[in-house]
Amino acid sequence: MALVSTLSPSRPVRSLQAWQSLPVALALVIGSWGLQAQAEAVAKPGAKHAMQSQGCHHMMDGERMGAMHKSRLTAIKKQLSLTAEQDAAWAHWVESTIPVEAMGRPDMKKADWAGLTTPQRLDKMQSMHEEHSQRMAQALARHSEATKTFYAALTEAQQKTFDQVTLRHMMGRSRTR
């Protein structure tokens, strides 16, 4: 005995078939709501991407990242309880944590790329990658040297605290809990 539903007055449909197509219909409706929400978010002033307008931390602007960086440094300094004699080493270390200018994407317009052939684009990308890698290596060397100098200026107890703080930062907070 089949249950009959009248979803459409002109054509009876079995209830089971109607229920089987419901998840597909719901997925389409929910998916279209998500696309609409992203379109509205991008349209908001100041939003470069829908995720940024929703507060996604991976899409932070420079100002917000700078504020978080300053807050982290303030917390580290407070945890270390530095003395006046250690302030110079601290200042040098803090300066080494500031990112090198122009580490972001190069300012190349689409028209610049369009004028290149595919092999030329690949060569350009390889060259840009090598330049970026060199800047990163130099920044890491500068930061490593400043960290070692600062670390040597700390007491044994401060070194242990610094080790724990930097481990959490380097490995991510969830991995050390």
Q: Residue 158 and residue 176: Cα distance in Å, rounded?
A: 19
Rg of the chain taking only CA atoms, in angstroms: 28
Annotate 18-73 with DSSP letters as a single string: HHHHHHHHHHHHHHHHHHHHHHHHHHSTT-SSHHHHTT-GGG--HHHHHHHHHHHH
Residue segments in the chain with a per-residue pLDDT below the cut of 70: 1-61, 100-107, 169, 171-177
**pLDDT score, position 141:** 92
Within this chain, do residues 35 and 89 fall inside the same structural domain, yes or no? no
Q: Residue 120 and residue 4: Cα distance in Å, rounded?
A: 66
**pLDDT score, position 176:** 43
Q: Which domain holds residue 16?
A: 4-47
**pLDDT score, position 1:** 47
With respect to residue 55, please indicate whether it lies within any of the assigned structural domains.
Answer: no
With respect to residue 56, please indicate whether it lies within any of the assigned structural domains.
Answer: no
With respect to residue 12, please indicate whether it lies within any of the assigned structural domains.
Answer: yes
With respect to residue 81, please indicate whether it lies within any of the assigned structural domains.
Answer: yes
With respect to residue 52, please indicate whether it lies within any of the assigned structural domains.
Answer: no
Q: Residue 108 and residue 129: Cα distance in Å, rounded?
A: 14
Domains identified in the chain, total number:
2
Within this chain, do residues 23 and 106 fall inside the same structural domain, yes or no? no
**pLDDT score, position 79:** 92
Within this chain, do residues 89 and 117 fall inside the same structural domain, yes or no? yes
**pLDDT score, position 55:** 56
The model's pTM: 0.57
**pLDDT score, position 85:** 93
Sign of torsion over alpha carbons 74, 77, 78, 84: negative
Within this chain, do residues 37 and 68 fall inside the same structural domain, yes or no? no
Q: Residue 28 and residue 8: Cα distance in Å, rounded?
A: 20
**pLDDT score, position 150:** 93
**pLDDT score, position 99:** 72
**pLDDT score, position 110:** 83
